[in-house]
Chains A and B, each alone.
Chain A
Amino acid sequence: MPDTRTPSSFRVALTVNARPVTLEVPAHALLLDVLRDRLGLKGAKRSCDIQVCGACTVLVDGAPVSACTFLAVEVDGCEVLTVEGLADGDRLDPLQEAFMQHGAVQCGFCTSGMLMSARALLNEDPSPTRERVAHYLRGNLCRCTGYRKLVDAIVACGNQGTT
């Protein structure tokens, strides 16, 4: 007898970078694959795949999550923000400007995740201390080890009051 109580796929309605989106997703679809393969948003990266490195960080209702280990069905009714949604048209987010000014980018692979974590932090605490930034970014790894400039950029962005 077919199981009618539990559909194999779910309709999810959400906003992605302020755009309304409605999708059918199977229960086992991961948010990262839906963003990258269904919506063409390649900013979030698949790297460690076990929630350790932070390269796949996106914000769900303002909270940073690892999209690699997060069921897409969970974002029904949510606001999802990816790195593609940080800039307002041609106007970059002050954080992106700060990353450029402070050279907080080396190979660039961790950058989108760093930006999203930093954005979540600044939304919560508009002028964080270095200690707070370091603690918040503990779960974002930069294998080029460019941490000092990353922290510089985020602290400076906070101090500018343009967060």
Chain B
Amino acid sequence: MTLLRPFALDRPETLEEAAAVLTEHGGGAALYAGGTELLLLMKEGLVRVQRLVDVKRVRGLADIRAEDATVVIGATARHRAVEISALLRERCPLVAGVARHVANVRVRHVGTVGGNLAFADPHSDVATLFLALDAELVLWRRAGERRLSLGDFLLGAYETARRDDEILTGVRLHPWPAGTASAYLKFGVHERPTLGVALAVTPAGAGAPAAVRLSVGCVGPKPQRFPEIERQAARMGVAELAARAPALAQAAADAVETASDLHGAADYKRDMTRVFVRRAFEIVAARAAGEEPRARYPYTVIV
């Protein structure tokens, strides 16, 4: 049985109050937005925290709202809120769909989007999918606000570019244009995903060129995009995408950075990347052609 060591708890109601605590206590204070990851590490004694700063009471921080052409998910929005958000179901249906499969129902009711991203667990469906939505993170501190792309925010496993006095307030998603076919594939036998693939194919139209977005995550220290493969694939029609899926998948497997951990060896994950990127292209090509593929794969969730 594992117990928590004693700590102090602050419950600020404004960002200013939260920032004051962070400034005063520096690295001894940790932001707390749900605790589904942080409390586990604290229970195991892997991190020592003197002070938790609960940001869930900061007003507006859990909102999910449209801003111009983007959707902003507040840092303390719970996975469950993402799952049932009418705005996300309309503008980013894959985000709502994937939220339904994050961890388990208890974690979804307690864990938050901001907590997930700021914790930077390499096995994150949220980070893998959001990378394909060109997510930008909003980091607040008294001196001002800055925005970082998710790719720049995530430095590696459990490591981010957030400074000690900064508070992650939200994440801005750039919804894919109407007519985009997409899929998220998640594979694994453990609680956290072993591999995630997000793929979106937008046909040319309305003066905009065709676009392909491919993100692979959970297999290495942080999720990755594949600009060269995306450019190649964007030049292909739907039928060609399906036919060339094996070659595109091989290119992704060659380019992906993998790491060995309890989910498997680096080589195994490279091979699984090849397998699942191919499947993702096949599924999205089918969806782009108006068909829902019937294929089912072991230990795999297809959203």
A63 and B43 contacting across the interface, CB-CB below 8 Å = no
User: Is the Cβ of B106 less than 8 Å from the Cβ of A66?
Assistant: yes
Contacting residues of chain B (150-172) with chain A, CB-CB under 8 angstroms = none
A28 within 8 A of partner (CB):
yes
Min C-beta distance of A158 to chain B, whole Å: 17
Q: Which residues of B contact A146 (CB under 8 A)?
A: none
Please encode chain A, from 1 to 17, with 1 for each CB lying within 8 Å of some chain B CB and 0 for all others.
00101101010000000
Stretch binding the partner chain, chosen from B5-13, B203-211, B233-241, B287-295: B5-13
Interface size for B (C-beta < 8 A) is 27
Complex contacts, A54 vs chain B, CB 8 Å: 104, 106
In the complex the two chains form, is B2's CB within 8 Å of A49's CB? yes
Alpha-carbon gap, A52 to B36, bound state (A): 11
A66/B107 contact (C-beta < 8 A), A6-B8, A52-B191, A73-B9 known = yes
User: Is A65 positioned at the interface, with any CB of B under 8 Å from its CB?
Assistant: yes
State which residues 63-109 of B face A: CB under 8 Å: 80, 100, 103-107, 109
A70, B110: Cβ atoms closer than 8 Å: yes
Q: How far is the CA of A52 from the CA of B40 in the complex (A)?
A: 11
Complex CA gap A29/B35 in Å reads 13
Whether B106 pairs with A51 at a CB distance below 8 angstroms is yes
B106 CB contact (under 8 Å) in A26, A33, A65, A135: A65
> What A residues does B6 contact at CB under 8 A?
8, 26-28
Residues in A neighbouring B51, C-beta threshold 8 A:
6
Whether the Cβ atoms of B106 and A139 lie closer than 8 Å is yes
A139 to B104, CA, bound (A): 5
Residue interface mask A38-82, B partner, CB < 8 A = 1: 000000001001111010010000011110011101000000000
| Contacting residue for A10 out of B9, B36, B40, CB 8 A | B9
Q: Does A86 contact B (CB under 8 A)?
A: no
> A96 near B: Cβ within 8 Å?
no
Q: How far is the CA of A98 from the CA of B5 in the complex (A)?
A: 41
Nearest-Cβ distance from residue A151 to partner chain B, whole angstroms:
15
Q: Which residue of B lies closest to A32 (CB)?
A: B1
Set A29, A64, A71: member contacting B105, Cβ < 8 A: A64
B109 touches A65 (CB 8 A): yes
Contact with B along A127-144 (1 / 0, CB 8 A): 000000001101110000
Inter-chain CA distance A26–B52, complex, in Å, is 13
- Report the minimum CB–CB distance from A102 to chain B (whole Å): 22
- CB-defined contacts of B3 to chain A, threshold 8 Å: 28, 30, 33
Asked if A69 contacts B35 (CB within 8 A), the reply is yes
A68 to chain B, nearest CB (A): 9
User: What are the residues of chain A within 8 A of B8 when measuring CB–CB?
Assistant: 3, 6, 8, 27
| Set of chain A residues within 8 Å of B80, measured between Cβ atoms | 63
A135 vs B7: C-alpha distance in the bound complex, in angstroms?
A: 36
The answer to whether B106 and A64 touch across the interface, beta carbons within 8 angstroms, is yes
- Closest chain-A Cβ to B144's Cβ sits at a distance in Å of 26
Partner of B9, one of A6, A30, A135, A138: A6
Q: Is A120 close to B, CB under 8 A? A: yes
Give the chain B neighbours of A136 by CB distance below 8 A.
105
Complex Cα–Cα for A107 and B245 (A):
48
Q: Across the interface, do A139 and B4 meet the contact criterion of CB distance under 8 Å?
A: no
Measured between alpha carbons, how far is A117 from B40 in the docked complex, in Å? 21
Q: Are A50 and B106 in contact (CB under 8 A)?
A: no
Q: Which of A70-125 contact B (CB under 8 A)?
A: 70-71, 73, 117, 120
Q: How far is the CB of B29 from chain A (nearest CB, A)?
A: 11
Inter-chain contact A27/B106, CB cutoff 8 Å: no
Question: What is the distance, in angstroms, from B33's C-beta to the closest C-beta of chain A?
Answer: 12
Chain B residues with CB under 8 A of A63: 80, 109-110
B contact set with A: CB distance below 8 Å: 1-10, 35-36, 39-40, 43, 51-52, 80, 100, 103-107, 109-110, 191
Q: What are 11 pairs between A and B in contact, CB < 8 Å?
A: A6-B51, A27-B6, A28-B5, A28-B6, A30-B3, A51-B106, A54-B104, A66-B110, A69-B39, A136-B105, A139-B104
Closest 4 CB pairs of A and B: A139-B104, A27-B9, A28-B4, A63-B109
Besides A28-B6, A54-B104, 6 new A-B residue pairs in contact (Cβ under 8 A), listed by A number: A6-B10, A10-B9, A52-B104, A54-B106, A120-B105, A138-B104
